[in-house]
Amino acid sequence: MLNLPAWQRCLDAEFGAPSPGRYRVQPEDFVVDEQLDFTPENHGEHLWLRLEKRHQTTLDVVKSVSRLCGVTLRDVGYSGMKDRVAVTRQWLSVHLPGREAPSDLSESLAAVGITVLAQARHPRKLKRGVHRTNHFTLRLSGEALQHPNFFDRWEALCRHGVPNYFGPQRFGPEGRNLQRAEALLAKGWRKRDDRQGMMLSTARSFLFNELLSERLTDGTWCQPLAGDMLMLDGTHSVFTVDAVDDDLIGRAAALDIHPTGALWGVGELAEYQVADYEKRLLACHPMLCEGLVKSGVKRSHRALRARLISPSIEILPNAVVLSFALPRGSFATAVVSELIAHPDFV
């Protein structure tokens, strides 16, 4: 049975392991604000709602909205999944052609702990992955803040970026989603057993984290290699390089481009230096790799590194508040794990 690997950190070689610390003691310690790069057009069949929630998952909110509006779950759209133990703000859409939402929708949502911050009509459903960034405001406390290198660690992350791990929440409590994914792929993936594709996503996330950990170990997670597919910062535009020159090395150091790792699926393996990493991954986890290919999911790529966007830090008595944005799909826990020791990252 698969177990989650130990969480590797990029700063330990320079600063040593971080000291113990606390985060997300209460929802207000972990605030997430989803940012689109467009606004609803104020007309159309879909009602878009900007909502704030606490102690609920995005799917919990989807179920509440569908029930109160009298629509199916498929009629409710959202861009990203947000944490449960957090204060999170995001848009959802509801397909309401030719009719208005219930007049008491805001009050009914408030009764189940969901606040409507804004609403507007739009011609199209909100699709997965269309938001540009998530902005985080995180409160950290504990012994780690007293260590003299805590602020050096933070500055290093601001300068060099963070390993773009899928966070522990992707794998469920005690990694149970990973165990479910392993069992499903072993018998042959079927859509009826995984309607949302969550098990496929879990398996691909695990393999990506394994590859990232290996490149962290040998120091190449932020350095281009021959055969790398490189991603332009701020976009999902990618290009493959057969050889590495000083220009690429300089652009990577300036956080303009990032090496990527495979999200496993149907497609050609990498070539040159990067091929060795993928061959080892295939040798270590043949059932997962082959099961993903048999499922038909298409191979894609994810940056091995994420840049902190507009980072800042506020020092409080016995705590600090970090503020930064990350590209969609990147996890704030990757940042926190570099700064404090916590059971989530073991």
Residue 289 to residues 5, 19, 184, 205, 283, Cα–Cα distance (Å): 17, 36, 13, 12, 9
Residue 46 to residues 33, 73, 129, 132, Cα–Cα distance (Å): 22, 14, 18, 21
Enter the tokens of residue 269: 């393996």
The label of the residue with tokens 């969609």 reads 328
Region for 55 from its dihedrals, namely left if φ exceeds 0, alpha if ψ lies in -120 to 50, beta otherwise: left
Give every CB contact of residue 259 below 8 A, 6+ residues apart in sequence.
Answer: 215, 220, 221, 222, 223, 224, 225, 228, 229, 230, 231, 252, 303, 304, 305
Say if residues 90 and 338 touch (Cβ distance below 8 Å).
no
Say if residues 135 and 57 touch (Cβ distance below 8 Å).
no
The label of the residue with tokens 């962290």 reads 216
Active site residue 276: no
Percent helix / strand / coil, the chain, rounded to 5 = 35, 25, 35
Specify the 3-state DSSP secondary structure of 66: helix
Residues in the chain: 346
- Catalytic annotation, pick one of 29, 83, 228, 233: 83
Specify the 3-state DSSP secondary structure of 200: helix
Catalytic residues: 83
